[in-house]
Amino acid sequence: MNWDQVEGNWKQFKGKVRERWGRLTDDRLEQIKGRRDQLAGRIQEAYGFSKDEVEAQIRDFEQRYPDGHRH
């Protein structure tokens, strides 16, 4: 996944993030702005997952959208 493309298309892409991690509020999504590190931190806060679990979930998400575009 190309996170530069995700950042550039964040308004369109954040719907997929919201589908996957529904506990992330609109405010949190605005703070993330397509940055992978911010996404990981916000998921960890919202769900209480370990860093390893968050990384595994993000890798799975990246495999679903390898080009950084909505599908």
Q: Please provide the average confidence, as pLDDT, over all residues in the chain.
A: 90
What's the rounded Cα separation, in Å, for the pair 68 and 9? 9
Q: Give the residue from 65, 56, 66 showing the smallest Cα distance to 16.
A: 65
Q: Under a CB-based contact definition with an 8 Å cutoff, are residues 16 and 65 in contact?
A: yes
Q: Which segments of 1-71 does DSSP mark as H helices, in order?
A: 3-8, 10-20, 26-32, 36-47, 51-64
Task: Say what percent of the chain tops pLDDT 90.
Answer: 72
pTM, 2 dp: 0.86
| CATH superfamily, with its number, for domain 3-64 | YjbJ (1.10.1470.10)
User: What three-state secondary structure class fits 6?
Assistant: helix
What value does the mean pLDDT take over residues 12-22? 93
Confidence band, pLDDT 50/70/90 cuts, at residue 60: very high
pLDDT tens figures, 20-51? 999 999 999 999 999 999 999 999 999 999 99
